[in-house]
Structure 1
Amino acid sequence: MTRAKKVKQERRAQATPPPRPPRWRAGWLLPVAGVVAAILAGVLFWQTSRDREVAASEDGPVHVHGLGIDPADGVLFIATHAGLFRIGTGEDKAIRVGDRHQDTMGFTIVGPHRFLGSGHPDLQEMRDEGLPSRLGLIESTDAGASWQPISLSGEADFHVLRSAGQRVYGYDASNDRLLESADSGRTWRQLGQPGSIFDVAPDPSDSQRLVAVAGSEAEQGLYESRDAGRSWSRLGEQIALLAWPTPTRLYLLDGNGFVSRSPDGGRTFEPRGQLGGQPAALLAHGPEELYAALHDGTIKRSTDGGATWVTRSTP
């Protein structure tokens, strides 16, 4: 029996894990009135579709949470609900990295072959290795082939991870808190936050400045902090994925696939183009090169700041 078949059988036999808070970006804007329904729907989704996702993920990525490019070789990595995938230069199909099927909710690449992640272990791995249901912050130093716990194991479930040098920013959805680490995730301090965080982006030229999108109904919109997250002021009503590669290039990608760009850190925006599908993740690789994942696992690429897009790979 292959490991893939064994994994699927084990998943059917395992009990459903405890419910966890809804992932804002998976359903985009969820009003407060819908949060309870979203939690229940999330539990049902886990029960009814986990086997289907694992089966589909044997052929390619589904339910994408994050993207990153390894500076060592330019390989594009795709973090998903059922493991990590990669697309090499010149390739058009994603292949699985290693044999892990962990739900990698948060993902960022911080150096050559060095990745940070978070989320939930595969059910078989949780049983066989005694892993907690919340992985906390985990690290790979071999381009995703293996992972080691770094901090907050069993405590945190980062749905958003962003890095800027040695600094790491993470939104722990299990505890509704925005955290910052100045030592690559070994220790953390809690920041202020404008609401439940949908996405966050650090200013690439100013360590004191952050931009965040709040997804909770009362506070929803785009915010900035100029004091390293201690306080926040509202910039607008946008609900979008963020990417901030250079000081004059802050990208927003909304739930309808429209791309806009700000030259001044979120005060003004210009429309760029349309993705052509509902986005699940956004990555900027330099000032003009963008990658976006659609909810069906399709990966698209733009080389002109989001004005036009081509398909990089299909699931």
Structure 2
Amino acid sequence: MAKVLLRRLTPVLVAATAAAVLVGCSTSEPPTTTAESVSATESTAPSVTLTPALDHLHGLHLGADGTVLAGSHTGLVAIAADGRTTRIGTSDDDFMGLAGVPGTDHLFASGHPGPSSSAPNPLGLMDSTDGGHTWTPTSLTGEVDFHALATDGKVLVGFDGTTGLLVSTDVGASWSAGAPLAAAAFAVTDGGVWAATAEGLQHSTDTARTFTAVPGAPRLTLLSAASDGSLWGVDSHGVAWCSRTGQTWVQHTVVGPVEALLAVDADTAYAATSRQLYTIE
């Protein structure tokens, strides 16, 4: 399996958006700067071209050995430092939702069975402890297709695109109802559950049962938590943001209309389309 060497894909390009681009999440985290006036959609972040391109992209995860993994319409794919893509395992399932315990090979997925599968549709929650080489049905088989998933290894939160949130505190074995919230993306940290919604960034401190708005936060459409607890997001203008606490955010470069986001740590994140992998530092 090819490895992605963190922060060594290409030199960082420093770009100006509506405000100065900052490197990493500032320790003191100044007040959030708004990106409402930013209209740029072309990425200024360094990138590599995916070869072959993915048929679609639903999520990214960083494995224990530093490999970037991507969930696609036809299974799980590894992305090498030069952009080469390689199928992981034999599954050709359509992974509509993909999440993993940060920095480990423990993955969760949901979606629809592929052409070679005889599994019920939808898949419910699938579990892999070997980086996606093999998958085991865990729960909600034939019942739920999670379009958004997030976990920190203790709490697992999912949204099926229809009825609201489901929450598990036992690695997906059982579920309880969370808030009736529609979210495009989640992140789970020691500080709680974070949700990117049409009404703005929302935060929960009671395991996703209730949420409150985060004042002044950018209007994020993608959201990801790193193993160090920092958060990265991409807003509706394609601008990347970082936060150590989730309450105040630092603006970074423009990545454009990307489909998935992966927080590595407070200094680095990846964003991707089905054709490009971008490095944000």
Using the size of structure 2 for normalisation, the TM-score is: 0.74
Equivalent position amino acid for 2:266 in 1: P
The correspondence for 2:190, drawn from 170, 191, 205, is 205
Equivalent position amino acid for 1:68 in 2: H
How far apart, CA to CA, are the structure 2 residues paired with 1:61 and 1:151? 28
| Contact kept in structure 2, 1:205 and 1:246, CA below 8 Å | no
Structure number having the greater helix percentage: 1
* Residues 80-99 of structure 1 aligned to structure 2 (within 5 Å): 80-88=72-80, 90-99=81-90
| Contact kept in structure 1, 2:126 and 2:137, CA below 8 Å | yes
Aligned to 2:243: 262
How far apart, CA to CA, are the structure 2 residues paired with 1:231 and 1:280? 27
Aligned to 1:106: 97
- Cα gap change, 1:248 to 1:106, in 2 (>3 Å): closer
List runs of 5+ in structure 1 lacking aligned partners: 1-56, 305-315
How far apart, CA to CA, are the structure 1 residues paired with 2:128 and 2:228? 29
| Contact kept in structure 1, 2:225 and 2:231, CA below 8 Å | yes
Equivalent position amino acid for 1:168 in 2: L
* Residues 1-315 of structure 1 aligned to structure 2 (within 5 Å): 59-71=52-64, 73-88=65-80, 90-110=81-101, 112-122=104-114, 124-126=115-117, 129=118, 131-173=119-161, 175-193=162-180, 195-202=181-188, 204-206=189-191, 209-215=192-198, 220-236=199-215, 238-245=219-226, 249-266=230-247, 268-275=248-255, 277-294=256-273, 296-302=274-280, 304=281
| Number of residue pairs the alignment of both structures matches | 229
State the Cα distance separating 1:273 from its structure 2 match.
1.2
- Tell me the C-alpha RMSD between the 2 structures: 2.3
How far apart, CA to CA, are the structure 1 residues paired with 2:276 and 2:90? 22
Equivalent position amino acid for 2:109 in 1: G
Equivalent position amino acid for 2:182 in 1: S
List runs of 5+ in structure 2 lacking aligned partners: 1-49
Greater RCO, CA 8 A, separation 6+: 2
Identity %: 31
How far apart, CA to CA, are the structure 2 residues paired with 1:192 and 1:290? 28
- Cα gap change, 1:269 to 1:205, in 2 (>3 Å): same
State the Cα distance separating 1:184 from its structure 2 match.
0.8
Q: Which moved more, 1:140-149 or 1:280-289?
A: 140-149
Using the size of structure 1 for normalisation, the TM-score is: 0.66
- Cα gap change, 1:105 to 1:235, in 2 (>3 Å): same
